[in-house]
Every structure is written in structure tokens, then in C-alpha cells.
Amino acid sequence: MSVTAPEGFEAAGVAVGLKSSGGPDVAVVVNRGPLKLGAAVFTSNRAKANPIIWSQQVIQDGVVEAIVLNSGGANCFTGSFGFQTTHQTAEKAAELLGISAGDVLICSTGLIGTGDEVFRAKVLDGTEQGIAQLSADGGEAASLAIMTTDSKPKRSVVAREGWSIGGMAKGAGMLAPGLATMLVVITTDAVLEAAEADSALRRATGITFDRLDSDGCMSTNDQVTLLVSGASGIRPEPADFAAALTEVCLDLAQQLQGDAEGASHDITIRVVHAASESDAVEVGRSVARNNLFKAAIFGNDPNWGRVLAAIGTTAAEFDPYDVDVWMNGVRVCSQGAPDASREEVDLTPRATDLLIDLRVGEATATILTNDLTHDYVHENSAYAT
Amino acid sequence: MSVTAPEGFEAAGVAVGLKSSGGPDVAVVVNRGPLKLGAAVFTSNRAKANPIIWSQQVIQDGVVEAIVLNSGGANCFTGSFGFQTTHQTAEKAAELLGISAGDVLICSTGLIGTGDEVFRAKVLDGTEQGIAQLSADGGEAASLAIMTTDSKPKRSVVAREGWSIGGMAKGAGMLAPGLATMLVVITTDAVLEAAEADSALRRATGITFDRLDSDGCMSTNDQVTLLVSGASGIRPEPADFAAALTEVCLDLAQQLQGDAEGASHDITIRVVHAASESDAVEVGRSVARNNLFKAAIFGNDPNWGRVLAAIGTTAAEFDPYDVDVWMNGVRVCSQGAPDASREEVDLTPRATDLLIDLRVGEATATILTNDLTHDYVHENSAYAT
């Protein structure tokens, strides 16, 4: 059900030929209210796609009535023509829905530099078709239409007493944070104020999508949107809503990790006993971005020296000669010297656990990443062609 | 000839079984003077190998009489036993050469965590054999003994009127800067003061080895050493010496790039019209570390969108919508929009030229990197086994 699980939302997914596969490629999600609020976080990449530039304006007043998403083209670095396409898409949706274009968010994903006349015509066509097919059970179709190299759709629903949260996500490559990660739409029928929605979304993404770092590359098009219909009439405790929202975000982030391009291992990097949470994140991220470590995991090689070489490049507070490293439950390095034998570490399971104990403080962070594989290189060497 | 091209140096390379291949694995270079000076730059990785910790002390007084280098084991994170191995190696060399251990530099390269009793015995044996075989034409043998996954030795010689500079380098993976890069020994018979040698080496490495960033991974063992014999009796103009030293460093850096693990393209990233040199370096390095860009080059795909997505993550001064990008002489993106067709770009040659024109200032920098290939993943997934 994804985004149409909560009350007050309709969605659709249609195929208009943006994808060479012929699969669905335009999704529409409409917020029927009564609240019609929205919050969003965006990529922190300074090279922003046209839909990001547009949506950052739309979200200012916290009112969102609809969101149109397309795969098959990023509409990024496509000149002023590309921005006009985004603008026209919002105008088209607004006209058909009888709302203001200033309340329509736009997301695009695909190849950067794609956004010509043919692209525009198809996106406008898809917007019209999608709105014509809107339904209260269209969440599944919408989740299929935002897929790019994803092998499967990502959906999540959390139901509470009388209210719920639903979400869909796409993302398989270029998974690295910058406030947001990839295209995600989350809906809820809980009653919230706009400012509450915004802060809850920022907190939840900060410890979920922002900690997913598959390949260190940050997209130009990332956007995570929360739409609030308030249709349940129920106002949850802020802590309850935050917990449920974090649960949906973490579930979707783990689905993104599990379907990352070419990956054969899902690596959970847990950094413990750091002096601060930011130190823990910095240390975890340095390992997540180390190609040598990631290639070793692909080869089922518990090469812990590469972990230490990676964390030694950070400015975090710790003594490189007083660090413990555990791989899949085996302590392979203790206080600057080899500990258990490499042979004791079994790296054949897809789920891989790396624990780095900095032994200086009480802070903790978890970073999700993947291994570096032949398939990753293959998929990304032939993406545009 | 490499390090024995200048007058006043002897070298040797011997095989003692540190490498499973049976190839030469211990090198010794001795400075016969009369000056016996040295300068060195080291990895900025906080996770430093035992030879780095030792050599940083030795270099303090600017006097260096010998350097012992081994491949087949990094002697990093090997506990206090590993540091004692380094110390004993210097003591052994000093005893046999009749000099002070405090004037003997040590370098090691290979797998982190390798440095047990067997390793120690072989390194001490190699030191003894190497010193017994020292000769004025031993530079070639020494350059072979420091190779790890290198497919060929790296040597360079620049001769001037009456004086010269020679060098050898090893490095094939984990090529990213941090003051120095990989193991490099450079010798000269020019007459220099210790402080001159130090500042000349720092300037030369800063614009050569420090701008080589093959895979974004920084080693724990990197060291670049300059040994000064003064045997020519000639004191060159500082500018002449600096130019010659930079020439040797650049030649060796390009040889490292050309032999980087698994690479199929040598990518020269030129950033022009930056507001500052540090901005230019930051922009170039962001592209050099972008796996998606590097995989695209492997696939001969001129995916310039990934260049913009990479540079958009930097804090450098420029407008992402006013940048020009050229690939192998073709302007593929101009001021935020597609320019020449992708089809016009021929990426089949190994030498690849990426030009990024930031259009804001007068500063320039060049970064050398490689593509991300199946072979890179393969070599590094099976390194320890």
C-alpha cells in the first residue's frame, strides 16, 4: 500500500516511455487533507536539479497538496528549458487538480543532462494520465513508477492506534547523504502542525537516510518528503509519532541498502565509545567510503588493517593504538595489534557487522554501507548507454 | 640506475622470502657523503606504521646515512613487538655500517598486521645480505625489492651540469595523499643544506605526489625521502634544484598513476579559473574520489553529470550553473546545460583529460587519478589471501 495506507491520500503510477524498459515512470501522490501539510529535506549538493530548486520554494509555507515524480531523467543541468519543464509540470497538475502550482512538489530521477522536448512532453503526459488514474489504492503503482536501477520497489507501513504512516522510496546507486537521500515520499493521516512535521522529519532522516552511505556519491536530486493529511483526526504524542516515523525511515533505508547497485554485502558499521556522536559518524563514514575495505568485504577478506587506515584519516578523538575492531562478532584487532585469527571470521553472509570500539567516550553511531563489487563497477560503467 | 645515478650512493636489493613470489624484498640505500643529509615527508594518516614512527624521529636532525626498506609486510599494528623489529633493523644496519642507528631510516610496505617473529628474522637477514651486496650500481636491484603489486619498477633520473637527482618509487594501490605518497627514495649529489633539502622536498611533493589520488585511500606507511650526498661538490641555484626535483617527483608520480592497480585509464583532472589553488585542488579531488565518475570512465562513458554532482559537494567558490566541462577536448557541458553531444567524445585512449573551468578566478591545479575497474575490485578483494 505504501503511501496510500494512511487515510486521505490517493496515488497513481503510469508508463509514458521515459524508461527504455517501458515500465511505469511517472507517479503522482495527492494529499486530500483535511490538513494538506508537507515537510521535505533536500540534497545538500550545490549542484541541484531543477525539481529541487522548484520544491525548495514550494515547501516554504508548509502546504503541499500533491507531488509528481518521474524516473527516466533527472532534469538536472538542462538549462532554463529544464526549469520551465518542472514549472509546467506543476502548473499542469495544479490545473487538473484545481489547486495552486505553488503547492505541488516535483521530483525527478535518472541521467543528469536529460530534459529535452521529448522528456517534457512525456512528463506532462504522465502527469495528466497519473491524475486521471488516482485512487486510494494507487500506492503500489506509484512505488513502481519511481524505480530506476532498483530491482524491486521499497515500501513501508507502520500502523498505530487509529493513525498510520506509509512510505515509498527509490534508490539503488549514488546513495550518500546530504540532508536527504534519494526519492522518498512518506504519508501520514496523523494530525500534526507544519513545524512539528518538519522537525520530526529532520530528526528521523538525520539518523536513518543520512547514515546510509552506499558509495560515497551524493545525488543532485535527493528529496525526502512527508505529507500530512490529518485524516485520522488523531493527534499522537510527539514521541510516539517520532518513533513511528523513524521506524518507517529506517525500514526504507535498509531496503535501499539491501538493493544497492551490484552489492553482495550489507555492511552495518557500528562505532561505539566515541567522544561525540559526530566523531562516531565521521569514523563510520570514513570506513564506508574506503574502497579498499569495501573491495575486501566483497572478497570475504577480513582485512581489518584497512579499517584502521581509514579511521586514521579522520580528526575524531581516539588513539589509533587503543582501538578494538570486531568483524561479525570476532575481535580481529585489539589496541593496535592483531587479536583473533582472520580464519575465525566468516564473511560469507550478506549481512556484515563491523564494530569499532574507540574506547574514549559514550557516544555511538551506526552507518549503513555496501561492499564494492564487480557488478557495481559494471552497472555504473554503462549507465548512460 | 635510479638512486645510484648520483655520486655518493650505494644500494642493493635482495630476496629473503618476505614475498610469496620469491622476488627481491629488502632494499638498502647508503649515503656515503660527504654530506650525509636527508629530508622526508610522511603520511598524515594518524594510523602510522612502526617504520613511520621510527623514521619521524630519525629525520629530526637532518642527518641520514642509510635507509632500509622492505616489501611483503607493513609492520603496522603489530604491537610493541613490531616497533622493536624496526628498532632492531636500524641497529643491525648501523652495526654493520659502523654508523649510528639514529641515522638509519626504515620503510615497510605490504599487509597491515604483518610483523611476527618470522617477519622479523627475514627483515634482519635481508638487512645483512643487502649491506653485504651494496654497490654503486645497485639502484636497479633496490627498485625491484620495494615492489608490491607494482607490475614494474619506477625509476627516474635527471642530470644537470655536474650534478644529478635519481629516484625510485613503489606504489600501485592505496594511492592518495597525506603529505607523501607511497615509498619513494630520491638521491642527489648536489650540495644542499638540510633545511634547503627539507623545504625543496615539501614543495616538490606538494604539487606532485600530493596531487596523485588514485583511489582516495591513504596509506599508513607512506614516506618520501630525499638523501643528499653532496658528492658532486656543486651547489646549484635553489630554483634549478627545485625544478629538477619536481621533475623527478612528477615523473615518478606519473609512473605510479600509470601502474595503479587494475586501472585502464590515467585521468588528468585540470581545474582552471578557480578562486584559489586550494579551491582548485578540492574540486579536482572531489572528482578523483567519485566512484560513479570513475566507473563511467572505465566504461568509456562521458557521463559529465557525475562531474557536476561531485564538484557540487565541495565548498569551493563557483556557481554550479556557470561551469564548463571538457572531456578529451570536447566541451560536453557549458554553463549548466549540455553542450556537444556525448558521441563526440572518444574515451578509448588510456590517457584521459578532464578540464573543469570554474570561471571565477585565475588559480589552477591538476589532480592525477585512475578509473574504477573490475580489475581494481578483483585485486583488492583478494589482497590478503
Sequence spans of domains, chain B: 2-258, 266-381
* Nearest alpha carbon to residue B290 among B316, B282, A109: B282
- Interchain proximity B308–A178, CB inside 8 Å: no
Q: Closest partner residue to B311 among A44, A47, A373, by Cβ?
A: A47
* Residue numbers of B between 307 and 326 with CB closer than 8 Å to A: 308-314, 320-321
Mutation site, B322, B381, B385, interface A, largest A CB count within 10 A: B381
The average pLDDT across A300-313 equals: 93
Q: Do domains B2-258 and B266-381 have the same CATH topology?
A: no
| Choices 3.60.15.10, 3.60.70.12, 1.10.10.10, 3.20.20.10: CATH for B2-258 | 3.60.70.12
> From the first residue on, what is the mean pLDDT of each consecutive set of 10 residues in chain B (385 residues)?
94 96 96 97 91 96 97 93 97 98 96 92 98 97 93 95 96 58 89 96 93 86 95 97 96 91 94 97 94 94 92 94 96 91 94 97 95 90 67
The three state secondary structure string of chain B is CHHHCCCCEEEEEECCCCCCCCCCCEEEEEECCCCCEEEEEECCCCCCCHHHHHHHHHHHHCECCEEEEECCECCCCCHHHHHHHHHHHHHHHHHHHCCCHHHEEEEEECCCCCCCHHHHHHHHHHHHHHHHCCECCCHHHHHHHCCCCCCCCEEEEEECCCCEEEEEEECCCCCCCECECCEEEEEECCCCCHHHHHHHHHHHHHCCHHHECCCCCCCCCCEEEEEECCCCCCCCCHHHHHHHHHHHHHHHHHHHHHCCCCCCCEEEEEEEEECCHHHHHHHHHHHHCCHHHHHHHHCCCCCCHHHHHHHCCCCCCCCHHHCEEEECCEEEEECCEECCCHHHCCCCCCEEEEEEECCCCCEEEEEEEECCCHHHHHHHHCCCC
A339 contact B CB<8A:
no
Residue A21 has pLDDT above 50, yes or no: yes
Q: Does A299 touch chain B (CB under 8 A)?
A: yes
Which residues of chain B have a CB within 8 Å of the CB of A311?
Answer: 47
CB-CB under 8 Å, A384 with B303: yes
Q: Which of A113, A301, A305 lies at the smallest CB-CB distance from B305?
A: A113
Report the catalytic residues of A.
Answer: 181
- pLDDT value at position B175? 60
Query: How distant is the Cα of B43 from the closest Cα of chain A, in angstroms?
Result: 10
The answer to whether B320 contacts A289, with C-beta atoms less than 8 Å apart, is no
Mutate which of A84, A112, A335 to disrupt the B interface (most B C-beta within 10 Å)? Answer: A112
pLDDT exceeds cutoff 90 at A114? no
- pLDDT on residue A345: 96
Q: How many CB atoms neighbour CB B228 within 10 A?
A: 30
What's the confidence (pLDDT) of residue B68? 98
Residue B181 among the catalytic residues: yes
The ipTM of this complex is 0.87
Q: Which of B45, B308, B372 faces A112 most closely, judged by CB atoms? A: B308
Contact B113 A304 (CB under 8 A): yes
Interfacial A residues in 121-160 facing B (CB < 8 Å) = none
Chains A, B: CB pairs < 8 Å? 202
**Which residues of chain A does B341 touch, with a Cβ-Cβ cutoff of 8 Å?**
none
pLDDT band at A174 (very low <50, low <70, confident <90, very high): low
Q: Do A174 and B296 touch (CB under 8 A)?
A: no
Decide if domain B266-381 falls under CATH 3.10.20.340.
yes
